[in-house]
Amino acid sequence: MAQVNADPALDIVFNPVERDPQGNIDAYAPLCEEILRDSGARHVIGCTTSWSRKEVIPALERMDGALWYPAPYEGFEASDRIVYAHACPNQHLLPLLDYAFAQFGRRSYLTGSNYIWGWEINRLAREIGSRTGGEVLGERYLPLGTTEVARIVDEIAALKPDFVLNQLIGKSQYAFLDAIAELRRSDPFFAEGHCPVLSCNLTECELGAIGPSAEGVISAGPWFRGLHPALPGNGGREDFGSSLEAAAHASVMTLAQLLNGAPGAEALSLSELLAQRRAAELGISPRTHHTRLPVAIAQVRAGAFVPLRTGAPVEADPYLTRERDPAPVPLRVVK
């Protein structure tokens, strides 16, 4: 916002109103409503989990507000009140599975925290895998916040999959990665480079908390530090800690662009704002409110993400209803 306010080429000034729900799921809707009720703000930038996003939608509808959501999510939503500024499955999970099937094999183990993100991402992985000859060896979930990962790690050690798709979040993920690092030291099958752990939402912002156990994790996202350029909406800036920061920055810059040179535009509804031709030029679909984003797959090496594969920006397909080139199906050995 400081960048927008200091830019003489933009004829608008942002006045931030901040509220921090501190990760408490019950605080998101009341605080969102408070912003929209007690201030002139119409656009809210925030929320990380799908759960919190779903919580604020009724407040947005009631108070005529808009949300810019800068985190990856599981798709199957297209709210008229939301701009989806980060990746959905055809921009993270699908390219990640293509990569994993080609590089490591088709026998997977699925795990995640017990809520919508992990359930849906793993359901998709199962469905896409089954279409292309994949085999799910196991699937197990943990309650949010738990660190009791031994059973999952024992199962992985016994099943020896080609890769693990990990949708655990927070402390559960940290404990899981620690336990997998231990397994890699004790079992040669899991030595470096074998049976990698994959993620659709791990970014640089958690590497410090995870420490050395993050080594080797492969993640998909629209951007990782060191890639040029960052997101289309960043206008050439690249000094972000992670793609979450980049998507939040792109949200503010895009909103500024959409309001610039259009007196009264701050009173327009989100769908009216996005109906402007420049919204599509900035990469936001007026049909789905999702953002066209590049796709990168990167691996943690020596504490930083190193790109393994990068791709041109992809149009978001939140309901996966568009044609897509499937991963090639390998010939299977019939015994």
| Candidate residues 78, 116, 159, 268; the one interacting with another protein per rule CB under 8 A | 78
Q: What is the DSSP letter of 291?
A: B
80 binds another protein (CB under 8 A): yes
Q: Is the Cβ of residue 115 or residue 319 nearer to another protein in the bound state?
A: 319
Please report, as residue ranges, which positions from 30 to 59 form the binding site for another protein (by CB under 8 A). Answer: 57
Q: What distance lies between CA 40 and its chain's CA centroid?
A: 30
Q: What distance lies between CA 195 and its chain's CA centroid?
A: 23
- Kindly state the greatest CA–CA separation across the chain: 71
d(CA 124, CA 64): 33
Contacts of 311 (CB under 8 A, 6+ apart): 95, 294, 295, 296
Q: Is the Cβ of residue 61 or residue 154 nearer to another protein in the bound state?
A: 61
Q: How many CB atoms lie within 10 A of CB 129?
A: 21
Structure tokens of 247? 């998507």
Structure tokens of 5? 């306010």
Q: Is the Cβ of residue 97 or residue 202 nearer to another protein in the bound state?
A: 97
d(CA 187, CA 171): 24
Instruction: Tell me how far, at minimum, the Cβ of 78 lies from another protein, in Å.
Output: 4
Using the contact rule CB under 8 A, the part of the chain among 75-83, 221-229, 255-263, 273-281 near another protein is 75-83
62 binds another protein (CB under 8 A): no
Structure tokens of 19? 């509220």
Contacts of 317 (CB under 8 A, 6+ apart): 88, 90, 324
Using the contact rule CB under 8 A, the part of the chain among 74-82, 155-163, 200-208, 302-310 near another protein is 74-82
**Interface mask toward another protein for 246-285; x: CB under 8 A:** -------------------------x--------------
Q: Is the Cβ of residue 92 or residue 289 nearer to another protein in the bound state?
A: 289
**Interface mask toward another protein for 116-155; x: CB under 8 A:** -----------x----------------------------
d(CA 221, CA 95): 10
Instruction: Tell me how far, at minimum, the Cβ of 268 lies from another protein, in Å.
Output: 16
Instruction: Tell me how far, at minimum, the Cβ of 74 lies from another protein, in Å.
Output: 13
Please report, as residue ranges, which positions from 296 to 325 form the binding site for another protein (by CB under 8 A). Answer: 317-319, 321-323
287 binds another protein (CB under 8 A): yes
Contacts of 266 (CB under 8 A, 6+ apart): 12, 42, 259
Backbone φ, ψ for residue 184 (5° rounding): -65, -30
Q: Is the Cβ of residue 124 or residue 180 nearer to another protein in the bound state?
A: 124
Please report, as residue ranges, which positions from 219 to 248 form the binding site for another protein (by CB under 8 A). Answer: none
Contacts of 22 (CB under 8 A, 6+ apart): none
Q: Is the Cβ of residue 81 or residue 184 nearer to another protein in the bound state?
A: 81
Instruction: Tell me how far, at minimum, the Cβ of 318 lies from another protein, in Å.
Output: 8
247 sits in which H/E element: helix 243-259
From 321, 169, 298, select the one nearest 243 (Cα to Cα). 298
| Candidate residues 108, 243, 288, 291; the one interacting with another protein per rule CB under 8 A | 288
Residues in the site for another protein, rule: CB under 8 A?
57, 61, 76-81, 127, 271, 287-289, 317-319, 321-323
